[in-house]
Chain A
Amino acid sequence: MSDKLPFSEVVSRHGATVLLVCRAVVGPVDADDAWSETFVSALRAYPALPAGANVEAWLVTIAHRKAIDLLRKARRSATPMADVPAAPTRRTDDPSVVDLRRLLARLPERQRLAVVYHYVGGLPYAEVAAAMGGSPDAARRAAADGIARLRKAESITARGETARAREGRS
């Protein structure tokens, strides 16, 4: 007998996190597809998941595979991820969110994924490494480098905005 949660409960507990991860990896347009692929695949494998497993880490790992598949498909057919504009969607009129997404999209892939899985998906570095390949230390470094770049880029943007604002006043 299994003591697993009904899968409907898994979706309602972790659906939002998985969607954030998908958006951050493949961008807002393909995120819904990545989300669906993730949960269909998870549903298929769910009965065999060991009881007591970290369900969110498991889902983020599946989301990683599905998102990478979509990225590869997109690259084969057309534009690389970094060129996909982080178009403001209905709910993201906050300019800082849009900026950060664009900055995130420009990070080298391993840095971007490490940042997203650790800071959005909540995966410990051991799990980040299991998802992406490589060692936990390498995952930690990739995330740290990614965050450092984001901070730097963000402060440049912020300074740019301050300068523009000053010009606007004068």
Chain B
Amino acid sequence: MTVDEPCQDLAGLFGTPPGAGELAALGERLAVRADDEGLLDVAYRTLDTPVGPLLLAATATGLVRVAYEREGVEAVLGTLAARVSPRILRAPRRLDAAVRELEEYFARRRTRFELPLDLRLSAGFRRSVLAYLPGIGYGTTASYQAVAAAVHHPGAARAVGTACATNPLPIVVPCHRVVRSDGRVGAYLGGPEVKHRLLDLEADR
């Protein structure tokens, strides 16, 4: 909004604009208090990893979203606002368990994730595919076709591909272990090079 009338000279004098550090400190306090008062429906933070910065978001139920940088922070938060709740704040505390497990995973000290998950962003067939994926063991792969057969829809390899491409919890729900039956790794929502890196990381252990 603009200051319209003849007082622009005064408006600037009402106070120097607050500094970024000051506002960040206020924002942190707000996030803690919102969480304590049960007003924080979605908490998020970012985490630097060997496959680039990840955005992590959690509801009170559990981890609800892991997103790669290429998905765009604004777009991811916008979708969370629309599909979960607009009560979203940067609030690292709720993501402590996710950060710990992901750091252990990238350090090759963890082969399965044990933190609580919130799968509400996925439904129907896609959700049953995601529920199956943790059954594909660390360091192994399965073809789209094999996964389709395992969830009792043997003709649905393409739909399994879609389920993987829309996985709201990549890495933690290991869609990177689903590959093409001709041996190529296939598409990945973090980019094929990231899929290669994750499979290499698990193979080296």
Contacts of A15 in B (CB 8 A): 18, 23, 26-27
Chain A contact residues: helix, strand, loop or mixed: helix
A52 at the interface (CB under 8 A from B): no
CB pair B10–A100 under 8 Å, yes or no, is: yes
- With A36-B26, A39-B30: A20-B87 Cβ-Cβ less than 8 Å: no
CB pair A8–B1 under 8 Å, yes or no, is: no
Q: Which of B77-85, B94-102, B172-180 contacts A (4 or more CB under 8 A)?
A: B77-85
Of all chain A residues, which has the CB nearest B8? A119
- With A36-B33, A44-B39: A119-B86 Cβ-Cβ less than 8 Å: no
CB pair B88–A20 under 8 Å, yes or no, is: no
B135 at the interface (CB under 8 A from A): no
Contacts of B42 in A (CB 8 A): 6
Q: Give chain B's interface residue range (CB within 8 Å of chain A).
A: 35 or more
B3 at the interface (CB under 8 A from A): yes
A150 to B27, alpha carbons, bound, how many Å?
33
Contacts of A57 in B (CB 8 A): 1
CB pair B16–A97 under 8 Å, yes or no, is: yes
What 1/0 mask marks residues of chain B from 101 to 115 whose CB sits below 8 Å from any chain A CB? Answer: 000000000000000
Contacts of B80 in A (CB 8 A): 6
Contacts of A56 in B (CB 8 A): 1
Ranked nearest first, the 10 interchain pairs of A and B with the lowest CB-CB distance are A122-B1, A6-B88, A4-B86, A6-B77, A6-B81, A100-B13, A19-B18, A119-B11, A15-B23, A120-B14
Q: Footprint of B on A, CB under 8 Å?
A: 1-9, 11-12, 15-16, 19-20, 23-24, 32, 35-36, 39-40, 43-44, 46-47, 56-57, 91-92, 94, 96-97, 100-101, 104, 116, 119-120, 122-124, 147, 150-151
Q: Footprint of A on B, CB under 8 Å?
A: 1-3, 7, 10-11, 13-19, 22-23, 26-27, 29-30, 33-34, 37, 39-40, 42, 44, 74, 77-78, 80-83, 85-90
* 23 cross-chain CB contacts under 8 A: A2-B82, A4-B82, A6-B80, A7-B87, A8-B44, A9-B74, A12-B27, A15-B27, A19-B23, A20-B18, A24-B15, A43-B34, A44-B37, A47-B86, A91-B16, A91-B18, A92-B16, A116-B14, A119-B11, A122-B2, A122-B3, A123-B1, A150-B10
